[in-house]
Chains A and B, each alone.
Chain A
Amino acid sequence: MALSKQHDLHKRRFGRNLGVGLTLVAFIALVFGLTIVKVTSQGIQFPQELNQSGGNN
């Protein structure tokens, strides 16, 4: 298959790579968001707090 400098295949591959890249960025954002929500939600006790509550008892 003869390829010109900017063959349609190049465009398609660029689109695919861009799609994969954006999906990975979205996944990272999702995991980051989940971490923030989990850590800041009620019921989570940090080691420092655990030590304090243990000391009080």
Chain B
Amino acid sequence: MTDASINASTLREDEASFGDFFALLKPRVMSLVVFTAFVGLVASPVSVHPFIGFCAILFIAIGGGASGALNMWWDADIDRIMKRTKGRPIPAGKITEGETFAFGLTLSVMAVTMLALATNVFAGLFLGFTIFFYVVVYTMWLKRSTPQNIVIGGAAGAFPPVIGWIAATGSMAVEPWLMFALTFMWTPPHFWALCLFMRSDYDDAGVPMLTVTHGRKATRTHILVYTVLLAILAIGTSFSGIGGPLYLAVALVMNGLFLHGAWKITRRDEDDSEVDNFKVERSFFKLSLLYLFMHFGAIMAEALLKPYGMGGW
């Protein structure tokens, strides 16, 4: 290869690598999508060919990643301001907004079409609706207009287990909506804990997060209220078709820990948090990740044990 292969007038020193395009898909969020969609697929009463199942999860993940890219395209202006997002490919100057839009849109269409072909049209349409919900309803509309943005927008992140279930069965039932509700109710306390210790980010960007509009004290109270509601839902799910003794044991332990964490957050004020650099809030955030993983892991375990006569009640 020689220098002649490069047009000097269009050179960018920090030109994007393959990894930068992958980073547009928000890989960490995608891992949550993959896991919850997989549990939705496994927990369904219909057995799916392993290769079809693999393809379904892959296309759901690509659809989730594509919506992440479209989110970065729309939010490029505030990503440049917030510390947490400054290193993303667009603010870092590696990929342009136009490239990101084209990348996200192309992948969205591909993922929806391929999921419909691999499984069923209903699943494809539902994935399309999820992308629309995340990009248009959450990113473009709610995120910058209401402090309840994360509550309603959290629905987008809660759809994957429902899509996984539909991909397997081609129909709807109560159980996938219980998994949806679990993630939906989990998102606000998870995200608000992050807002508490990523202090000035949202203020600087002018995003009306609860911490900005209602104050940090109110956010702490909201975390506790949502955690109580989440605990009722999570433990109640034990007695549904996707629950069982193992799930109940996990739910009791994890919700006990989560409630304890939320209670500690409520009892603290800003001075306490400043002293130990938001130790309790940070540990609550980490616990929230484990919380969701354990609940969905237990649902999956119950489903996998059923053929051996052990899962469920």
Q: Which residues of A contact B (CB under 8 A)?
A: 1, 3, 5-7, 9-10, 12-16, 18-20, 30, 33-34, 37, 41
Contacts and interface: CB of A to CB of B under 8 A. Distances in A.
Given A18-B18, A20-B18, A34-B52, 7 more contacts: A5-B2, A7-B6, A9-B6, A13-B15, A16-B17, A16-B18, A37-B52
Interface of B: 1-3, 5-6, 8, 11, 13, 15-18, 21, 49, 51-52, 55, 58, 117-118
A37 B51 contact: yes
A37 B51 CA distance: 8
B3 A41 contact: no
A9 B118 CA distance: 38
Contacts of B16: 12, 16
A46 B143 CA distance: 51
Contacts of A34: 51-52, 55, 117-118
A9 B2 CA distance: 11
A3 B51 CA distance: 46
B15 A1 contact: no
Contacts of B51: 33-34, 37
Instruction: Identify whether the interface residues of B are mostly helix, strand, loop, or mixed.
Output: helix
B3 A3 contact: yes
A12 B15 contact: yes
11 contacts: A3-B11, A7-B6, A9-B13, A9-B15, A12-B16, A12-B17, A14-B1, A15-B18, A16-B18, A34-B55, A37-B52
A20 B107 CA distance: 13
Nearest to A12: B17
